């Protein structure tokens, strides 16, 4: 009996509490930078595409919504096309984890509704941004041991000069 009256009273007091609801379109909620929303493809600090078309993201994707084709130019790989089907994407972020070059990144934006399902298939030009995203200084070819035009073996950051296997010196 006392319990019932106390419940009534406490519930009544909630009339004077502040609402927890965020009136969404007018007030946007804060989304942390790590929020897993719309996917983008970023560029390295030199403005080149970061993606090296390694297909790791497509392999990691649990719903198989990434599709890309490798192309090659000056010894570098790049995606000829790169599609993400956002009508299937579950925003799990596995692609971002799998990517060795920080090319594919998830962003704090989720307002991507469409009236036509087909419009949810984003092409490379829709995905590619002009900046570096979350990792401003990272450039895959600057740290990898791969030789590309303008950067030979042993010239990458923190990379020792290659061992001359024909020399007899220790």
Partner 1 sequence: MIVPMPIIIVVTFAAVMGVAAVSTMVERRLLGFFQDRPGPNRVGPFGMFQVVADAVKMLFKQDWVPPFADKPVFLLAPIVGFMAVLLEFGVIPITPHWSIAGDLNVGLLFVFAMMGLAVYSVVLAGWSSNNKFALLGGMRAAAQMISYEVFMGLSLLGVVMTAGSFSLHDIVLAQSRCWFVIPQFLGCIVFLIAGIAETHRLPFDLPEGENELGAGFHTEYSGMKFGMFFLAEYAGVAMISALITTLYLGGWGGPILPPFLWFAIKVVFLICFFILLRAALPRPRYDQLMSFGWKILLPVSLINIVLTGAILLWQAGA
Q: Name the site residues for partner 1 (rule: CB under 8 A).
A: 4, 7-8, 10-12, 14-15, 17-21, 23
Closest distance of CB 44 from partner 1, Å: 46
DSSP element (H, E) containing 106: strand 104-106
Q: Nearer Cβ to ligand SF4, position 66 or 156? A: 66
8 A C-beta contact, residue 138 and residue 100: no
List of residues 6+ apart from 47 with CB closer than 8 A: 130
Residue number with CB closer to partner 1 (14 or 73): 14
For the bound state, the minimum distance from the C-beta of residue 35 to partner 1, rounded and expressed in Å, comes to 23
Contact positions vs ligand SF4 (CB under 6 A): 39, 51-57, 60-63, 65-66, 68, 84, 89-95, 98-99, 101, 103-104
Phi-psi region of 55 (alpha: psi -120 to 50; beta: other; left: phi over 0): left
Shortest CB 54 distance to ligand SF4, Å: 4
Q: How many CB atoms lie within 10 A of CB 134?
A: 15
């Amino acid at each position: 009996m006392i319990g019932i009256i106390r419940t009534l009273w406490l519930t009544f007091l909630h009339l004077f509490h502040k609402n927890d609801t965020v009136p969404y379109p007018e007030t946007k909620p804060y989304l942390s930078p790590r929020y897993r929303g719309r996917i983008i493809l970023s560029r390295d600090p030199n403005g080149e595409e970061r993606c090296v078309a390694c297909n790791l993201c497509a392999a990691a994707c649990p719903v198989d919504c990434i599709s890309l084709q490798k192309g090659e130019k000056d010894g570098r790989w790049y995606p000829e096309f790169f599609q993400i089907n956002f009508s299937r994407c579950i925003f799990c972020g596995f692609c971002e984890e799998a990517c060795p070059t920080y090319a594919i990144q998830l962003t704090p934006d989720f307002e991507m509704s469409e009236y036509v399902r087909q419009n949810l298939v984003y092409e490379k030009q829709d995905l590619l941004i002009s900046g570096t995203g979350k990792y401003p200084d990272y450039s895959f070819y600057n740290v990898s041991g791969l030789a590309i035009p303008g950067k030979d073996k042993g010239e990458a950051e923190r990379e020792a000069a290659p061992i001359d296997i024909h020399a007899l010196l220790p």
